[in-house]
């Protein structure tokens, strides 16, 4: 079991668009195993490869006791809306109301290159959107608006020497 350390806000890998996976090999399978081991810790709903310092389009999730992964995800079928507190392992101690689609379809591949489709609603939809954002170099605080955004940016300036974006 390999639990990898989480990169924290300010690390450039979190703001860099991840590269598509092109080789479905033993190295990818080890990355997926590490991501799934890392997401299994209590209180974790998802971990994207950039959060463990790897710039590839892969994430793991742990929602409702179901642990899985998705390689090269593409989201579609956004429907409805939900607003709830959202947090991020890379922004420890922060959490803000964030609006996401209530349901979404995630298409990609498993670690062997086989097509995979995940239909997510509620919290799973939130996790799929959050983790896919990480692969684009986007953090959930980037989606905040108004007072919540101002409060988040103030808090980031307080806890981080050089907040970005």
User: Looking at residue 164, what is its pLDDT?
Assistant: 45
Specify whether 36 is catalytic. no
User: Looking at residue 161, what is its pLDDT?
Assistant: 54
**φ, ψ at 139 (rounded to 5°):** -105, 155
User: Looking at residue 165, what is its pLDDT?
Assistant: 41
User: Looking at residue 53, what is its pLDDT?
Assistant: 98
User: Looking at residue 78, what is its pLDDT?
Assistant: 98
User: Looking at residue 156, what is its pLDDT?
Assistant: 85
Q: Give the mean model confidence (pLDDT) for residues 22-44.
A: 97
| Complete domains list, the chain, with CATH | 12-159 (3.90.45.10)
Q: Give the mean model confidence (pLDDT) for residues 126-138.
A: 98
Gap between the Cα atoms of 42 and 24, Å rounded: 29
Residues of the chain above pLDDT 90, percent: 87
Active-site choice (17, 27, 36, 131): 131
């Amino acid at each position: 079991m390999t639990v990898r350390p989480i990169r924290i806000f300010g690390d450039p890998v979190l703001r860099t668009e991840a590269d598509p996976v092109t080789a479905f090999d033993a190295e990818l399978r080890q990355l997926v195993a590490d991501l799934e081991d890392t997401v299994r810790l209590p209180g974790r709903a998802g971990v994207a490869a950039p959060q463990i310092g790897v710039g590839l389009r892969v994430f793991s999730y742990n929602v409702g006791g179901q642990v899985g992964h998705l390689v090269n995800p593409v989201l579609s079928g956004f429907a409805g809306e939900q607003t709830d507190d959202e947090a991020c392992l890379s922004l420890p101690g922060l959490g803000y109301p964030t609006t996401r689609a209530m349901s979404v379809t995630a298409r990609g591949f498993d670690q062997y290159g086989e097509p995979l489709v995940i239909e997510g609603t509620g919290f799973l939809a939130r996790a799929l959107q959050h983790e896919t954002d990480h692969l684009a170099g986007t953090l959930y605080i980037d989606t905040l608006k108004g007072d919540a955004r101002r409060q988040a940016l103030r808090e980031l300036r307080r806890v981080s020497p050089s907040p970005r974006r």
